[in-house]
Chain A
């Protein structure tokens, strides 16, 4: 399995609180991604990174920000969590376009 660790694995928090999810990789892959997975939808891209300090928005980026200060870590922050952000969040890594993405085991986030 690709060396991807997501933390925390589960989190319950209240509306309006900030939340940060962490993705850590040991593969030295250049590209990292954050997705959310909800019933009735395929994985939807929130943000991605193509290098240290280089990030771009995905299709569902509103309400989320990211940071990548070093190759191995990609952080996803919900500045002020809302109930619509209750979801399972997956981090993925790849060496480039037209290459497989490998996923972590996800973070289940519940916002009450």
Chain B
């Protein structure tokens, strides 16, 4: 909602360029990860997920990379469009638990 975006790191990219958004996750036991997109006044929207038995997963214009060694997750958006402007955050989950840990997010601004 409107609470999102205050004091967040911001990534500004030119329309048509590729974007890379990073996330450091906290729990070495986490084995399931999700990227969300949140537009102003809306709830988080699922983009893509990845499980710990994979290093990379691709969707439509998006790719998620997982580096378990350094507990790092990244979201790559190809050919960034104005509609991609939003806050993006990652979430992690440990198998068998119903609790997810959410990052604080990065604001993506697409410049025309």
A-side residues, CB < 8 A to B, are: 4, 31, 33, 35, 37-45, 48, 50, 56, 58, 87-88, 90, 94, 96-98, 100-106, 108
By the criterion CB–CB under 8 Å, are A42 and B103 in contact?
Answer: yes
Number of interface residues of B (CB under 8 A): 32
B-side residues, CB < 8 A to A, are: 1-4, 6-7, 31-32, 34, 36, 41-46, 49, 51, 89, 91, 93, 95-105
Q: Which residues of B contact A43 (CB under 8 A)?
A: 44, 91, 100, 102
Q: Which residues of A contact B1 (CB under 8 A)?
A: 37, 88, 90, 105-106, 108
Q: Which residues of A contact B49 (CB under 8 A)?
A: 100
Which of A4, A40, A97, A104 contacts B93, CB < 8 Å?
A: A97
Q: From known contacts A41-B104, A42-B104, infer whether A97 and B97 are also in contact, taking CB-CB under 8 Å.
A: yes
- Identity of the chain B residue whose Cβ is nearest the Cβ of A30 in the assembled complex: B98
By the criterion CB–CB under 8 Å, are A97 and B44 in contact?
Answer: no
